Amino acid sequence: MLARTSPTTAEAWGVSKKLSAEEAARMRSQARHKARRDYNSAIYGAHEEVAQNLLREKKPVEFVAKVTCLPLEEVKRLAASLTD
């Protein structure tokens, strides 16, 4: 193998392997972060949908905020958007 014949080549090969490993780790990390963002977005969307359904059933905004864990101001905004 060429890396065994030259110290400079061996060092370059080692650096190349390290950079490849770091790139793979970075890509795995990015994938984990994207999966978390996607999950959180889906959960938030589901909470909004439940809130809208409860508001259509004329449930009080305080109750909707409590059961969906959405901020009261967000529930009020959703309620206003349903009446527009």
pLDDT of residue 42: 94
Contact (Cβ atoms closer than 8 angstroms) between residue 35 and residue 21 = no
Task: Report if pTM > 0.75.
Answer: no
Contact (Cβ atoms closer than 8 angstroms) between residue 64 and residue 75 = yes
Q: Can you tell me the distance from the alpha carbon of 64 to that of 51, in angstroms, rounded to the nearest whole number?
A: 6
Question: Based on the structure, what is the number of domains in the chain?
Answer: 1
Q: Can you tell me the distance from the alpha carbon of 78 to that of 23, in angstroms, rounded to the nearest whole number?
A: 43
Residue 74 has pLDDT above 60, yes or no: yes
Q: Which residue from 27, 6, 3, 28 is spatially nearest to 16, judged by alpha carbons?
A: 3
Rounded mean pLDDT, 37-44: 93
Q: What's the domain range around 15?
A: 2-83
- Which of the two residues, 20 and 74, has the higher pLDDT score? 74
Enumerate the H helices of the chain as residue ranges: 7-56, 61-68, 72-83
pLDDT of residue 3: 46
pLDDT of residue 4: 59
- Which of the two residues, 19 and 58, has the higher pLDDT score? 58
| Confidence band, pLDDT 50/70/90 cuts, at residue 20 | confident
